[in-house]
Amino acid sequence: MACTIIVGGFFGDEGKGKIVAHIARRDRPAIISRGGVGPNAGHTVNIGEKTYGVRMVPSGFVYEEALLCIGTGVLVDPRVFLSEVDLLGVKGRAFVDERCGIIDEAHIQRDKGSDHLSKTIGSTGTGCGPANADRVMRIGRQAKDVPELAEYLMDVPAEINESLDDGEFVLIEGTQGFYISLYFGTYPYVTSKDTSASQIAADNGVGPTRIDDVIAVFKAYPTRVGAGPFTTEMTPEEAHELGIEEFGTVTHRPRRIGNWDGERARYSAMINGCTQAAITGIDRIDPDSYGCSDYNKLSKVAKDFIKKAEDDIGAPVTLISTGPDISHIIDLRKEL
């Protein structure tokens, strides 16, 4: 398990942040590096009384010994990055690849000002689409051109590959979800880049032969923010009956709620090359499982759900999240 990638199996917001934070604490990676689009993603980490929503710094920041990196393929909004570094007190161990594309105010204005992006697609308005468009047109700025980022610059892929050569554990954190991938998602209702495990590896300059594990994270009740097809979506009334109400970490928009989609889970696991899966929100399937950390104490309802999910996904479910706190988890993985 020298190099593990975490990805979202559905439409994003599956709880990757919490899974990453847990793995970081248990398995002590030398480096935790972020892949994915950019600050359009928000990861939430709850520790005791505190809730952190991170958009640039990897969610594994809770493990204090790791270097926290942003991979080459990820867009950086310097203002968001610098404010998170400050807020989380991670200066000295937070780094940005020197080649990362940069988001500036003009990108944000183009994102918010475009009816197509902001209304039809329902973008997060964080400037990611226009910044990726500029990169493709080869007119965008890079991290090395931004004086405020000078002290944070690193050759992130070199650092990761050297760490792997030394036999250290590296955790690569994906963002977004499989079905909002530019290639594999519900186009055009997607984000501005691929979000599958191969892309997350490429974002960090890690070759396909170096990946040992891909953990895909699935939500028991999937959600979607923004427009686009969602075959298992339930009505707001049904969601209310179940006591489910969620809001986006970045945009605070209400999330659409759906039922488990076995077919989509299987397809996403296949393309991601999923070796293990994590299921989050089991406490919504069976409220009695809230906070449980022992598989044997789960009810039959919860265990049956996990068994069915495992059959759909085609890989073992080794992590089961039973509540929002970092401690609300059942970890069936082998010790490293």
Q: Which residues bind ligand IMP (CB under 6 A)?
A: 12-13, 37, 40-41, 121-124, 126, 128-129, 175-176, 180, 191-192, 225-226
C-alpha 159/C-alpha 201 separation (Å) is: 14
- Start-to-end CA distance of the chain, whole Å, equals 7
Query: Which amino acid would we find at residue 172?
Result: I
Among 13, 77, 134, 194, the one annotated catalytic: 13
Catalytic, 328? Answer no
- With respect to Mg ion, which residue has the nearer C-beta, 13 or 97? 13
What is the closest distance, in whole angstroms, from the C-beta atom of residue 7 to ligand IMP in the complex? 12
What is the closest distance, in whole angstroms, from the C-beta atom of residue 168 to ligand IMP in the complex? 28
What is the closest distance, in whole angstroms, from the C-beta atom of residue 130 to ligand IMP in the complex? 9
SS3 percent helix, strand, coil of the chain, rounded to 5, is: 35, 20, 45
- With respect to ligand IMP, which residue has the nearer C-beta, 58 or 306? 58
Q: Which does 180 bind (CB under 5 to 8 A by kind): ligand IMP, Mg ion, none?
A: ligand IMP
Q: Which of 98, 103, 105, 100 is nearest to 128 (CA)?
A: 103
Q: Which does 9 bind (CB under 5 to 8 A by kind): Mg ion, ligand IMP, none?
A: none
Q: Which two tokens mark 288?
A: 């009695």
Q: Which does 225 bind (CB under 5 to 8 A by kind): ligand IMP, Mg ion, none?
A: ligand IMP
- With respect to ligand IMP, which residue has the nearer C-beta, 248 or 316? 248
Catalytic, 43? Answer yes
- With respect to Mg ion, which residue has the nearer C-beta, 15 or 29? 15
Query: Is 161 within 8 Å of 209 (Cβ atoms)?
Result: no
C-alpha 182/C-alpha 269 separation (Å) is: 17
Among 22, 27, 43, 240, the one annotated catalytic: 43
Q: Which does 59 bind (CB under 5 to 8 A by kind): Mg ion, ligand IMP, none?
A: none
C-alpha 157/C-alpha 148 separation (Å) is: 22
What is the closest distance, in whole angstroms, from the C-beta atom of residue 248 to Mg ion in the complex? 7
Q: Which does 280 bind (CB under 5 to 8 A by kind): Mg ion, ligand IMP, none?
A: none
Q: Which does 40 bind (CB under 5 to 8 A by kind): Mg ion, ligand IMP, none?
A: ligand IMP
Question: Which residues of the shown chain bind Mg ion in the complex (CB under 5 A)?
Answer: 13, 42, 249
C-alpha 289/C-alpha 303 separation (Å) is: 10
Q: Which of 62, 94, 60, 91 is nearest to 76 (CA)?
A: 94
3-state SS assignment for residue 216: strand
CA atoms within 13 A on the CB side of 132: 18
C-alpha 321/C-alpha 261 separation (Å) is: 18
- With respect to ligand IMP, which residue has the nearer C-beta, 14 or 312? 14
CA atoms within 13 A on the CB side of 16: 33
- With respect to ligand IMP, which residue has the nearer C-beta, 140 or 226? 226
Q: Is 106 left (phi over 0), alpha (psi -120 to 50) or beta?
A: alpha
Q: Which two tokens mark 310?
A: 């495992």
What is the closest distance, in whole angstroms, from the C-beta atom of residue 53 to ligand IMP in the complex? 11
What is the closest distance, in whole angstroms, from the C-beta atom of residue 170 to ligand IMP in the complex? 22
**Nearest residue to Mg ion, by Cβ distance, number only:** 13
Q: CB pairs under 8 A, 24+ apart, for 105-110?
A: 106/130, 107/131, 107/134
Residues serving a catalytic function are 13, 43
